Chain A
Amino acid sequence: MIEADDKAASNEREFDTVPEHPIATTRQRTDESRAERNRAVDSLRASLSDQEILTEFGIDLSQIAG
């Protein structure tokens, strides 16, 4: 019985890493892709104003969150 308890305790310790939940995974993906999006928008803004971007390409950057 003691041996079983030891095994059980050992087994518990073996699994002390909490897994990443899918919600955390997808939120992390969202954060990463938003950061990449912001860099791409900054790159576009390097040569055109927001108004020019809107007029030329139709992209309304005021609707894009940072």
Chain B
Amino acid sequence: MEREVAETVVRATREEAELRARDDLDQLRRQAVEAGRERSRKIIKITNINTSTGGISYNPAGRLLRDWYLHVYINSVRANLGQPNEAIDAQQVQDTALLLERVRPGAEPLQATSAVDATRKIAVADAAAAVARIIERLADAGAVRAIRQAPDHRFDSDPLRVHVTRHWYQRSYDRTVEEAVNARHAPTAANDAEMVHVADALVTREARRLLGHDGALVLPAYSDGLRIEGPAADAAMKMFNHTTLLTTSQIAGQEDDLACLDRGGSRQEPAAWSLDAPAISDRGSDTRRIQ
């Protein structure tokens, strides 16, 4: 392989991976927002139904707090994904508490403030859970997309070039995701030296360690001593300090899940977005059913 061709492959692979990662993040964020809407209806009721009398009454406090929950949830999801968002500050909490006091004049001011604060923190916790789900799903998606990017027959079926390209794709994809969640120890942006290193591997068909165990780049002066022997799939994995082989058999069964992202559909059931775990003990009991 000519060096110019190798450098083009490396650059194009990185750009495709970064683009896909951003699209996938956006797609899952939209799904997470819908899950949040569903969740708001479940945890904050706006109608009281008295099962004894059959009477139904509207609860404006529930409407206000449901809107407040969604406002906090959506902006927290966006903040956790490094997307533009409106910061939830103390003034907003205070303003919402004042509104709540107006619609619930019987409630003590401290209780209204406490209800607003609790709703806010429920939303923040749910948003954090949603983002954790997104990141878990993208960890799988990145691997599948990497294999699709470099199928076994690519590069005249040269296994080292195929596997180095896959891991390079995965590294570029993961880096975009990590930067989005502001993960600590996130790798630095791809630089020219890194791309030259990967292009070298494609040209020479030799894998040399690119990353240390902490994800930091190995200095070029040291990498000559870090030539990796062994099967191509294994050598490429070690080159990028990854922990999972990227083989075709690995993606069996994951294609449907990925198709959901590709189509922009919502194959995932709301339950799959379960933003919470087992319920805490219900301390109250009443004949009223509330929706």
A residues whose Cβ falls under 8 Å from a Cβ of B: 4-5, 7-8, 11-12, 14-23, 25-27, 29-30, 32-34, 36-37, 39-41, 43-45, 47-66
Contact = CB atoms under 8 A, between A and B. Distances in A.
A40 B72 CA distance: 15
25 contacts: A8-B222, A8-B226, A12-B212, A12-B213, A15-B212, A19-B184, A22-B181, A29-B131, A33-B127, A36-B121, A40-B114, A51-B286, A52-B284, A53-B115, A54-B45, A54-B290, A56-B61, A58-B45, A58-B65, A59-B65, A60-B42, A60-B290, A64-B279, A65-B279, A66-B280
A22 B82 CA distance: 13
Contacts of A26: 80, 128, 131-132, 135, 181, 183
A4 B263 CA distance: 50
Interface residues on B, range: 35 or more
A38 B108 CA distance: 21
Interface of B: 42-46, 48, 59, 61-63, 65-66, 80, 100, 104, 106-108, 110-111, 114-115, 117-122, 124-125, 127-129, 131-132, 135-136, 139, 174, 177-178, 181, 183-186, 212-216, 218-219, 221-222, 224-226, 276-286, 288, 290
B111 A65 contact: no
A57 B222 contact: no
A50 B121 contact: no
Given A22-B177, A43-B118, A55-B48, A33 B124 contact: yes
Contacts of B117: 40, 43-44
Contacts, number: 199
Contact of A60 (B43, B177, B214): B43
